[in-house]
Amino acid sequence: MTAGVVVFGSLHLDIMVHAPGRPRLGETLVGRSWSLKEGGKGGNQAVEAARHGARTAMIGAVGDDDFGRRLVANLRRNKVETAAVRVMRGAASGMSVALVEPAGDYGAVIVSGANLTLGRAAVAAAAPVMGGAGWLLLQNEVPEEANVAAAEAARAAGTRVILNAAPVRELPMALLACIDILVVNALEAEALCGAPVETLEGAARAAEALLGLVPSVIVTAGGHGLAIAGRDGMRYTVAPHRVMVSSTHGAGDAFVGALATRLAAGDPLAKAARYANAAAALVVATPPEERAGLGPVSVEALLREV
C-alpha cells in the first residue's frame, strides 16, 4: 500500500537541557535537568503524521551509531515506515542541543551529520516509496540540492508538496516551482518577505506577500494564530487556542505533520489547518513525555470546546 504522507528530511537526536535561560557569550548557567529526544524536523513531522492517522514513510539518513539506532527504532515504534532510511557507515548521526527556558520557549543548535549525505542518489533509491504518495513533506535541515531533487521527483509522480521552510534560507526557483504549500512561522515569514509578523493581521499580510513564491501560504504566528493565503483568492485566519504552555519545542512540526495527514485524508486546506492548529496547541500544553497519547481524539475534543 502506498503511503499517504512521505517525509524527506532530517533525523536528529535532541539533547534537551532545561535551563534558567540562554547563556550570554562566556557565561555558564546551571541547568535543572536534561533528557534525550528523538527528533529532527523530518523525523518529528513523520511521527506526527503517523500519530494523526496517515500511513507515513520516512526518507532520510542516519549514522551507524547508537544515535542512529535510536532514531530508526523511534520511527518504527511510532508506525513510520523506514525502508528508505539509509544507514551511512562511518558517518555520525545528526544531533541537536536545545535549551528550554522555564516559560517553555527554547533555542537550539543542530549538527547535521549523516543528514548531509542526502542528495539525488537517495531520492532515486527512494522512488518506490515516493511514487503514488499523496503528499511529500520537506524542510530545510537537509542540503538544498536534496530538497530540489525530492520536490522534482514528487512533481513528476503527481505527488503534492509541502515545504516547511525552517530553518529559513534563500529558496531556489527550481524548488519553489514544485511547491504547492509553503508553511513558515513568524520569524521565517519576516525573513522571506521583509515585514515583521507581530499580530494575526501581520501574518495575513505576510501570507499574501509570499504568494509571489508559491500557490498557497500558511504563516503560523504562535499565540496570535495563523493565516492562509492562496492564489485562488483564499484568505483565511485561525484564532489561537488559549492553553497553558508546557514547552513550545516541536509545536511547528506537530502542525505540519497533522496538516499533511488531514490533506491526505481529503480535507480542504482551511479545515486541515484548523485541525493542525489544535494539534499544535495540544503539543504546547502537554509535557513532552506525555505527548505520545495525543492524536485525533484529543484534537477533536479541543475543537469541540471552541
C-alpha cell at 7: 517525509
Measured CA to CA, the distance from residue 80 to residue 72 in angstroms comes to 9
Peptide bond into 167 cis (omega under 30): yes
b/e string for 89-125 if b means 16 or more Cβ within 10 A?
eebbbbbbebbbeeeeebebebebbbbbbbbeebbee
Question: What is the DSSP track for 246-275?
Answer: S--TTHHHHHHHHHHHHHHTT--HHHHHHH
Measured CA to CA, the distance from residue 175 to residue 44 in angstroms comes to 22
Residues annotated as catalytic are 253
